[in-house]
Amino acid sequence: MGKLLLTNYAVVNFADTHNCDVVVIGAIKEGFLKQAINGNITEAIARGCYCTVILV
């Protein structure tokens, strides 16, 4: 099964463009090195969206 890669910019841009009221995303625990390289994508989405963000 393939994976769809969305960056934090894509999610925030989509939510803003489509005037979303809520964004629901799955939060996963990433390793320290991976998080240091990629940044914390979940946190970036939560901080970048103007709407409510629910992490599950």
> What is the tens place of the pLDDT at every residue in 1-45?
555 566 788 889 999 999 999 999 887 777 777 766 666 788 888
Cα-based angle 23, 28, 33 (whole degrees, multiple of 5): 125
DSSP readout, 3-51? -----HHHHHHHHHHTT-SEEEE---PPPHHHHHHH--HHHHHHHH-SS
pTM: 0.69
Strand bridging mode 52-55 / 22-25 = parallel
